[in-house]
């Protein structure tokens, strides 16, 4: 796992390192700027000789990093132009010292103001270094900064952002009207939330987290609860099969799903659970739809159940469902289920009689939204998988551009005692104890009907094989995204379907199991 910090946590790490550990801030700044220079050299293919670099510096520590980067690249043979948005007389501390170091090697710093002639933003520049604002930015970019950033974005040269792209909030990922579009961002010490949340993640380009010398014990003191999932974390969670295992050892999944016109959701979930490794899967379906399900499902079992006059699952289905609840290791409720009021009554009764792990998705979530009191009846180990629209129906809160998704998901997970998988770009899994897992896999092609049903089946398959529901949730999200990435390479993001994601599960799991 990669810990993901807020700007406040990062500032505290810096403070403790400097004031309590005794490592000078200038040393941290030197380490940071060296990491940026290394990234620049990679862009240059290993040699900076004769390359034209433009460095834009603010007056704070981010600008101090920029002056040091300029020194490194000048020493490496680059032609470096440094522009300070402000006056050298206003610089303080380490930023001033690094400005002076640059000047002492014959570096020239050009001061800019609104009255200045702005630099000619020609296309003969080989690289731009954005060292304007850093992690302390909030709100809007105005005046001279807005003009410079607009000019910077109009040049075809690659841009490296120092710590954060200027104009992007380090905590929320929100971007000002004028924000730097970087090709790469070298962030210092710890990954920042704003580099992983849209639109910050798109503006950051490739993100490189650089170790600048902050001791691990300093980071541990911050009790960081947000983590970025890594492939190696997922690999250790792929269930093992004993050589003598039989189908009963690999777990049982029971899926209550389907309504007229929505049998595909049930099929996608069932097949995904089996592709993920569940030994046995049964689908409870309105009886009139059972012939369709039997045609579509070869490996999974089907159970025709009593239905309402509209063809949805009826409350009277409960006695036939009960034996399956005892049989199942994991229960899925919702894919294509419909929102008939009687189906909602059936859900209410089910919550009273089972303590098995539940994965609730799609119309299961909509039924909960129609009767919010049921959210207080969820058994321990429940996983809810809403997209933003379903989340709004559940909570009344819109995940608009000003929303703190972490606070909102955390409060819901704690209140309901459930794991909440908020699907999106990126998908965030929130646990009742306040921990979060940000998923790095996936692509825009997964914004297609049925993709969520595949995810539900993956999580259920993992739970059935013995994974704790919390672990299965973020592990399943990663697998789902990785399969989607594989599908995109085959079909492209415009043409891939949810079934294509499912088709890629086998090779994805095989790769993760190696």
Q: Is 153 exposed, middle or buried (0-12, 13-18, 19+ CB in 10 A)?
A: middle
Gap between the Cα atoms of 44 and 184, Å rounded: 13
Rounded mean pLDDT of the chain?
94
Task: Write the CA distances from 10 to 191, 220, 428, 457, integer angstroms.
Answer: 9, 12, 21, 38
Task: Report whether 421 contacts 470 (CB < 8 A).
Answer: no
Sign of CA dihedral 162, 163, 165, 167: negative
Length of the chain: 514
pLDDT at 401: 58
Task: Report whether 337 contacts 256 (CB < 8 A).
Answer: yes
**Three-state SS for 265?**
helix
pLDDT at 397: 82
Dump pLDDT digits (tens) for 125-143.
Answer: 999 999 999 898 888 988 9
3-class secondary structure for 96-158? HHHHHHHHHCCCCEEEECCCCCCCCCCCCCCEEEEECCHHHCCCCCCHHHHHHHHHHHCCCCC
Cis peptide before 199 (omega within 30 of 0): yes
Percent of the chain predicted with pLDDT > 70? 98
Task: Write the CA distances from 97 to 17, 64, 311, 385, 458, integer angstroms.
Answer: 20, 8, 75, 51, 55
Q: Which residues sit opposite 228 in a β-bridge?
A: 2, 438
Place 246 in a pLDDT band, splitting at 50, 70 and 90. confident
**Three-state SS for 210?**
strand
Q: What is the pTM of this model?
A: 0.91
- How many angstroms separate the first and last alpha carbons of the chain? 19
**Beta carbons within 8 Å of 309's beta carbon, 6+ residues apart:** none
pLDDT at 139: 85
Dump pLDDT digits (tens) for 253-298.
Answer: 999 999 999 999 999 999 999 999 999 999 999 999 999 999 999 9
How many C-beta neighbours within 10 Å does residue 383 have? 26
Task: Write the CA distances from 455 to 117, 260, 273, 325, 484, integer angstroms.
Answer: 55, 22, 9, 21, 10
Place 244 in a pLDDT band, splitting at 50, 70 and 90. confident
Rounded to 5 degrees, what are φ and ψ at 382? -75, 140
Dump pLDDT digits (tens) for 310-367.
Answer: 999 999 999 999 999 999 999 999 999 999 999 999 999 999 999 999 999 999 999 9
Place 115 in a pLDDT band, splitting at 50, 70 and 90. confident
Place 145 in a pLDDT band, splitting at 50, 70 and 90. very high
Contacts 24+ apart (CB under 8 A), 245-248: 246/279, 247/279, 247/280, 248/279, 248/280
Task: Report whether 279 contacts 287 (CB < 8 A).
Answer: no
Q: Is 403 exposed, middle or buried (0-12, 13-18, 19+ CB in 10 A)?
A: middle
Task: Write the CA distances from 418 to 159, 370, 377, 460, integer angstroms.
Answer: 42, 18, 11, 15
**Beta carbons within 8 Å of 429's beta carbon, 6+ residues apart:** 419, 420, 421, 422, 436, 437, 439, 473, 474, 477
Task: Report whether 32 contacts 67 (CB < 8 A).
Answer: no
Average pLDDT over residues 33-41: 97
Gap between the Cα atoms of 255 and 313, Å rounded: 12
Largest CA distance in the chain: 85
Q: β-strands 280-286, 301-305: how paired? A: parallel
Show the domains of the chain with their CATH numbers.
Answer: 2-224 (3.40.50.10260), 232-513 (3.40.1190.20)
How many C-beta neighbours within 10 Å does residue 27 have? 14
Q: Which residues sit opposite 459 in a β-bridge?
A: none
Place 370 in a pLDDT band, splitting at 50, 70 and 90. very high
Gap between the Cα atoms of 74 and 53, Å rounded: 9
pLDDT at 105: 95
């Amino acid at each position: 796992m990669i810990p993901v910090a807020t700007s406040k946590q990062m500032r505290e790490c810096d403070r403790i390192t400097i004031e309590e550990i005794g490592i000078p801030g200038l040393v941290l700044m030197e380490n940071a700027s060296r990491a940026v220079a290394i990234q620049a050299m990679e862009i240059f293919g290993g040699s900076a000789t004769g390359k034209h670099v433009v460095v834009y510096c603010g007056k704070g520590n981010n600008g101090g990093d920029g002056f040091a980067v300029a020194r490194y690249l000048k020493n490496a043979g680059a032609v470096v132009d440094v522009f300070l948005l402000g006056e050298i007389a206003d610089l303080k501390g380490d930023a001033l010292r690094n400005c002076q170091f640059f000047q002492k090697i014959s570096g020239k710093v050009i001061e800019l103001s609104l009255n200045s002639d702005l630099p000619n933003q020609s296309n003969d520049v080989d690289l731009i270094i954005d060292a304007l604002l850093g992690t302390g930015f909030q709100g809007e970019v105005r005046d001279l900064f807005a003009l410079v950033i607009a000019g910077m974005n109009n040049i075809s040269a690659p841009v490296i952002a120092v710590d954060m792209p200027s104009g992007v909030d380090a905590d929320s990922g929100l971007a000002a009207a004028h924000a730097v579009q970087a090709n790469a961002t070298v962030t210092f010490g710890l990954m920042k939330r704003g580099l992983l949340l849209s639109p910050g993640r798109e503006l950051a380009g490739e993100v490189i987290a650089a170790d600048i010398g902050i001791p691990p014990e300093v980071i541990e003191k911050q009790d960081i609860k947000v983590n970025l999932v890594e492939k190696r974390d997922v690999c250790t969670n792929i269930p093992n099969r004993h050589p003598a295992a039989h189908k009963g050892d690999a777990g049982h999944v029971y899926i209550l799903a389907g309504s007229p016109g929505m049998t595909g959701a049930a099929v996608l979930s069932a097949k995904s659970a089996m592709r993920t490794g569940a030994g046995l899967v049964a689908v409870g379906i309105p009886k009139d739809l059972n012939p369709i399900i039997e045609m579509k499902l070869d490996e999974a079992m089907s159970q025709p159940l009593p239905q309402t006059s509209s063809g949805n699952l009826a409350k009277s289905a409960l006695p036939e469902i009960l034996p399956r609840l005892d049989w199942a290791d994991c229960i899925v409720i919702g894919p294509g289920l419909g929102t008939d009021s009687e189906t909602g009554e059936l859900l209410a009764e089910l919550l009273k009689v089972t303590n098995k792990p539940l994965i609730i998705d799609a119309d299961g979530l909509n039924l909960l939204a129609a009767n919010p009191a049921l959210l207080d009846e969820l058994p321990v180990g429940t996983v809810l998988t809403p997209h933003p629209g379903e989340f709004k129906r559940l909570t009344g809160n819109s995940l608009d551009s000003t929303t703190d998704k972490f606070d909102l998901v955390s409060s819901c997970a704690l209140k309901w005692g459930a794991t909440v998988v908020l699907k999106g770009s990126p998908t965030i899994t929130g646990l009742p104890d306040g921990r979060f897992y940000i998923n790095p896999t996936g692509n825009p092609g997964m914004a297609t009907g049925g993709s969520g049903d595949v995810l539900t089946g993956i999580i259920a398959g993992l739970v059935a094989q013995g994974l704790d529901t919390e672990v299965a949730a973020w592990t399943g999200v990663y697998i789902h995204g990785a399969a989607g990435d594989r599908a995109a390479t085959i079909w492209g993001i415009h043409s891939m379907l949810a079934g294509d994601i499912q088709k890629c599960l086998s090779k994805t799991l095989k790769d993760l199991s190696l």
